[in-house]
Amino acid sequence: MEALSNASVAALIAFGWCALAIRLGPLLGFVDAPDGVLKNHQRAAVPLGGVGLFLGIHTGLSVTGHLDPWLLIGTLVLVVTGLADDRFGLSPLIRLSVATAAGAIMALGERSLWWALALIVLVVLCVNAVNLIDGIDALAGSTAAITLAGMAVLAYRRGVPDWLLPVAGSASMIGFLVWNRPPARVFLGDNGAYLTGSLLAYTSLIIAREPWEALIGVALAGYPLFDLGVTVLRRLRSGLALFAGDRDHTYDRLHRLAGWSTGRVSAIIALAQAFWVVVLISVELLAGPGAGVGVAFGLGLPTIVWATGRRV
């Protein structure tokens, strides 16, 4: 019953905020218009989805008595920074510094040093990973919703007290996706990408009872980290700036290769992410976390290297 209340409230609030944001965004100057270069979406949209996710997640946790004040403050810092980035543009150094600080804030409620250090690193990685894949309608939101649902299952099976956090996160994503489906009317924006990345990072660690068990949570992130790895290696090989934008991500290549619509690309990647999550959780439950991690890295790392060398 707790899970139903948590998910219902989170989804409804995210959905309601996005409906309001469509009218509110233009009044506040938050409109993301196509430019034919890096922004190839079909029509102007409002990049305020992260605010709805923030409200949905923390309200959902509040109604079931699971609100985490340090998580609330840390994600608030990221959402506010993302809003400033969406509206005015911030330098990579500022974004990196804020992500590091937010990770440190979110870790204040934990006792172990390894947990705090791992969280700071993961927040920085996942924030950038989600930001990179948030280039076509419904892609980042659908993969995050699937990943968080899988993490919720794993957390519940492990008896993790905070298992309702990924439930609220996945439900909020679903409420947001109603407005983010192609052609999207609401985007995550940087505010939503930063929040989503931090949520994936935080959840991957709360399901870990021991340091090595965190690896399966990280591996569940799947596609966002895959695209991050491919992008970093590709830019290093090509001598491109790591923080420069481009239209040569794996989803862009798939779009060019198959000639599919962006909606179809997002759907195919979401299905692949769902398959990945189901396989890893099944292996973890049947053979233990070590087996799941072995499968993840045995398949993931060679695929990243292979994809880096592809030219579509």
Give the domain ranges of the chain: 2-309
The pLDDT tens digits of the residues spanning 69-117 come to 999 999 999 999 999 999 999 999 999 999 999 999 999 876 688 889 9
Structure-model confidence comparison of residues 52 and 298, the more confident one: 52
Which range scores top for mean pLDDT: 54-63, 127-136, 156-165, 220-229? 54-63
Cα separation, 1 vs 3, whole angstroms = 5
For residue 301, is pLDDT > 70? no
% of the chain surpassing 90 pLDDT: 56
Tokens describing residue 108: 């204040």
Of 98 and 302, the structure prediction assigns the larger pLDDT to 98
Predicted confidence at residue 40, as pLDDT, reads 60
Q: Find the mean pLDDT for residues 289-296.
A: 74
Within 10 Å of residue 36's Cβ, how many Cβ atoms? 6
pLDDT category of residue 293 using cuts at 50, 70 and 90: confident
Q: Which residues, other chains included, contact 282 with Cβ-Cβ below 8 Å and sequence gap of 6+? A: none
Query: What is the per-residue pLDDT for 43?
Result: 74
Out of 7-11, 51-55, 205-209, pick the least confident: 205-209
- Res. 172: pLDDT tops 70: yes
CB–CB of 43/34 below 8 Å?
Answer: yes
Q: What predicted TM-score, i.e. pTM, was given to this entire model?
A: 0.91
Look at residue 312 in the predicted model and tell me its pLDDT.
42
What φ, ψ does residue 45 adopt, rounded to 5°?
-140, 165
pLDDT band at 42 (very low <50, low <70, confident <90, very high): low
What is the average pLDDT across 110-137? 89
